[in-house]
């Protein structure tokens, strides 16, 4: 026992040492990727994960308690997004999987209902998440990306014109990751109804934030199953649901629509194998962690966290705008905002580089070239430090006339 614990003590020390090389997200130094409310929730979610550390969510009969936790999480989602009676959902590993599974469902629905289509097409705005292209790549479909409007929202009229005889699916973002704005979901779902298409809403980023922000009195457009014509919706638990990573929902207006995502196989010696997800084995810990986050926070906790996100966003926006040479792009609807430079002597790419040198991992947007900030409650503690380093970075760039190439490689 002592040998084991001293072995682990050394490994643990090594892990903690290796982590020192990373950007310090727990102190708000990373502008994307991490979502945390407070130490209490963090502990609850970690312990819940640990309790179900060894369980496999694939085994619904072996682990009925995991199945029940999963069903309760899905019911929470269906309720939050106003799905009428009869809706159904799939617990997935993340936004990308929720989207791939929904695209697969739409393709299957198209095969049955539009059998003349050999090469099915998805129509979406250029701002939609790359996972739709990943899904199309995997499922042998085509994607038509329609240019965004000047306000970064989907151009619904142009999307309608882009619909052709082979289109099966149309998509809106609620909101988009690139600019943090809501597409006109009612308009997009209207196009779907007129042309008989499957309409998916990508609420991966903002799904678990927007309903609470709306409750706080902010103007949030209708984006969920209340909009007729919306058939499926993706929303990530591991973002503003504050669940551990590996948790998202792919939700469907009807069980029949969910069944379009089903994979069933019986031609091997072991018997029937049924899954709705891309993965077979799935971590029970992610399910228990998501369940713990929902129950620990409850509607009041999510409301309070949403308040922190919006207050932090507003403080950051006001602080950025107070720095001469910087310019916040509008509109922005939720937790994401972008800012650039309106001073020829301040190269925003150089500002990004200077911020990295000061220990801040900043995101970026290519169109327009801008710094991208995805706000979560953890950033409330670092507002002043961020703004002070940003002001000094801008000052340094102006003084030294430093220039830098655009670095959009924040994902690798
Ligand atoms: C709007 C949107 N859709 C989908 C995704 C993909 O989610 P994930 O990274 O969990 O696969 C993201 C991730 O940021 C997103 O913002």
Question: For 340-360, how does the pLDDT look when each residue is reduced to its tens digit (9 = 90+)?
Answer: 999 999 999 999 999 999 999
Q: Distance, CA 202 to ligand 1 centroid (Å)?
A: 9
**2-41+296-400 classified as CATH 3.90.1150.10:** yes
Q: Distance, CA 397 to ligand 1 centroid (Å)?
A: 32
Supply 354's token pair: 């200077």
CA distance 124 to 3: 57
Q: Give the atom of ligand 1 at the shortest distance from the alpha carbon of 177.
A: 16
Sign of CA dihedral 100, 103, 105, 111: negative
The DSSP output letter for 251 is: E
Q: Distance, CA 205 to ligand 1 centroid (Å)?
A: 6
Identify whether the C-beta of residue 98 lies closer than 8 Å to the C-beta of residue 249.
yes
The 3 state secondary structure assigned to 337-362 is EEEEECCCCCCHHHHHHHHHHCCCEC
The mean pLDDT value for 53-64 works out to: 97
> Residue 411's pLDDT band (boundaries 50, 70, 90)?
low
Report the pocket of ligand 1 as residue ranges, CB < 6 Å: 94-96, 129, 131, 173, 177, 202, 204-205, 236
The mean pLDDT value for 382-403 works out to: 97
Interval 279-323: pLDDT, tens: 999 999 999 999 999 999 999 999 999 999 999 999 999 999 999
The pLDDT > 90 percentage for the chain reads: 97
Confidence (pLDDT) at 49: 98
**Which of 96, 132, 152, 182 for mutating ligand 1's site (highest number of atoms within 8 Å of CB)?**
96
Q: Distance, CA 137 to ligand 1 centroid (Å)?
A: 17
Identify whether the C-beta of residue 363 lies closer than 8 Å to the C-beta of residue 25.
no
H/E run at residue 98: helix 95-113
Q: List, in sequence order, every beta strand (DSSP E) within 84-237.
A: 88-92, 121-125, 142-146, 167-173, 198-202, 230-236
Confidence (pLDDT) at 407: 81
Interval 113-138: pLDDT, tens: 999 999 999 999 999 999 999 999 99
Q: What pTM did the predictor assign?
A: 0.97
> Reduced to 3 states, what is the DSSP secondary structure of residue 200?
strand
Maximum pairwise Cα distance, the chain: 72
Domain boundaries defined on the chain: 2-41+296-400, 50-294
Interval 210-241: pLDDT, tens: 999 999 999 999 999 999 999 999 999 999 99
Whether residue 331 is preceded by a cis peptide bond, meaning omega within 30 degrees of 0, is yes
Supply 336's token pair: 């994401």
Q: Give the atom of ligand 1 at the shortest distance from the alpha carbon of 245.
A: 10
**50-294 classified as CATH 3.40.50.10490:** no
Confidence (pLDDT) at 409: 64
Q: What are the phi and psi torsion angles at 248 (to 5°)?
A: -155, 165
> Reduced to 3 states, what is the DSSP secondary structure of residue 364?
strand
CA distances to 96, 216, 382 from 128, in Å:
12, 27, 30
The sheet with strand 142-146 has its strands ordered as 88-92, 248-252, 230-236, 198-202, 167-173, 121-125, 142-146
Q: Distance, CA 39 to ligand 1 centroid (Å)?
A: 25
Q: How many residues does the chain have?
A: 412
Confidence (pLDDT) at 412: 55
The mean pLDDT value for 72-79 works out to: 98
Identify whether the C-beta of residue 203 lies closer than 8 Å to the C-beta of residue 235.
yes
Q: What are the phi and psi torsion angles at 297 (to 5°)?
A: -80, -50
Q: Distance, CA 269 to ligand 1 centroid (Å)?
A: 38
CA distance 223 to 125: 16
Give the N- to C-terminal CA distance of the chain in Å, as an integer. 40
Q: Distance, CA 345 to ligand 1 centroid (Å)?
A: 34
H/E run at residue 231: strand 230-236
Supply 156's token pair: 């619904």
The mean pLDDT value for 376-388 works out to: 97
Whether residue 213 is preceded by a cis peptide bond, meaning omega within 30 degrees of 0, is no
Q: Distance, CA 131 to ligand 1 centroid (Å)?
A: 8
Confidence (pLDDT) at 2: 66
For atom 9 of ligand 1, which residue has the closest CA?
95
Q: Give the atom of ligand 1 at the shortest distance from the alpha carbon of 95.
A: 7
> Residue 3's pLDDT band (boundaries 50, 70, 90)?
confident
Look over the chain and give the mean of its residue pLDDT values, rounded to a whole number.
97
Whether 170 has a pLDDT exceeding 80, the answer reads yes
Q: Give the atom of ligand 1 at the shortest distance from the alpha carbon of 98.
A: 11
Find where tokens 């950051």 sit: 316
Identify whether the C-beta of residue 339 lies closer than 8 Å to the C-beta of residue 394.
no
**Which of 129, 202, 248, 278 for mutating ligand 1's site (highest number of atoms within 8 Å of CB)?**
129
**Which of 103, 127, 176, 177 for mutating ligand 1's site (highest number of atoms within 8 Å of CB)?**
177
Confidence (pLDDT) at 4: 76
């Amino acid at each position: 026992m002592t040998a084991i614990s001293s072995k682990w003590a050394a490994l643990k020390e090594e892990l903690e040492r290796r982590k020192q090389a990373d950007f310090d997200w727990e102190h708000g130094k990373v502008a994307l990727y991490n979502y945390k409310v407070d130490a209490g929730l963090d502990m609850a979610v970690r312990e819940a994960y640990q309790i179900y550390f060894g369980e496999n969510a694939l085994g619904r009969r072996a682990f009925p308690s995991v199945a029940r936790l999963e069903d309760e999480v899905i019911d929470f989602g269906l309720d939050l997004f106003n799905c009428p009676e009869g809706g159904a959902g799939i617990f997935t590993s993340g936004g990308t999987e929720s989207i791939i599974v929904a695209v697969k469902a739409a393709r299957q629905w198209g095969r049955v209902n539009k059998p003349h289509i050999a090469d099915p097409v998805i129509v979406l705005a250029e701002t939609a998440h790359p996972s739709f292209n990943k899904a199309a790549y995997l499922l042998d479909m085509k994607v038509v990306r329609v240019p965004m409007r000047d306000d970064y929202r989907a151009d619904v009229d142009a999307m309608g014109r882009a619909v052709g005889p082979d289109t099966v699916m149309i998509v809106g973002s609620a909101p988009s990751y690139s600019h943090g704005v809501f597409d006109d979901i009612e308009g997009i779902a209207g196009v779907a109804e007129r042309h008989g298409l499957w309409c998916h809403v990508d609420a991966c980023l903002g799904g678990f934030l927007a309903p609470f922000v709306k409750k706080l009195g902010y103007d949030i457009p209708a984006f969920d199953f209340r909009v007729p014509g919306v058939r499926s919706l993706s929303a990530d638990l591991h973002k503003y649901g504050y669940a551990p990573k590996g948790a998202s929902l792919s939700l469907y207006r009807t069980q029949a629509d969910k069944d379009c995502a089903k994979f069933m196989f019986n031609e091997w010696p072991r018997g029937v194998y049924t899954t709705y997800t891309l993965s077979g084995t799935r971590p029970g810990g992610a399910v228990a962690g998501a369940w713990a986050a929902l129950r620990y926070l409850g509607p009041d906790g999510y409301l309070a966290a949403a308040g922190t996100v919006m207050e932090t966003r507003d403080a950051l926006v006001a602080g950025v705008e107070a720095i001469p040479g910087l310019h916040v792009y509008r509109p922005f609807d939720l937790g994401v905002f972008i800012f650039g430079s309106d001073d020829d002597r301040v190269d925003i790419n150089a500002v990004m580089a200077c911020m990295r040198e000061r220990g801040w991992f900043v995101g970026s947007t290519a169109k327009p070239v801008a710094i991208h900030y995805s706000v979560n409650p953890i950033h409330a503690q670092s507002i002043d430090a961020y703004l002070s380093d940003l002001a000094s970075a801008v000052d340094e760039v102006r003084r030294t006339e430093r220039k830098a190439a655009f670095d959009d490689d924040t994902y690798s």
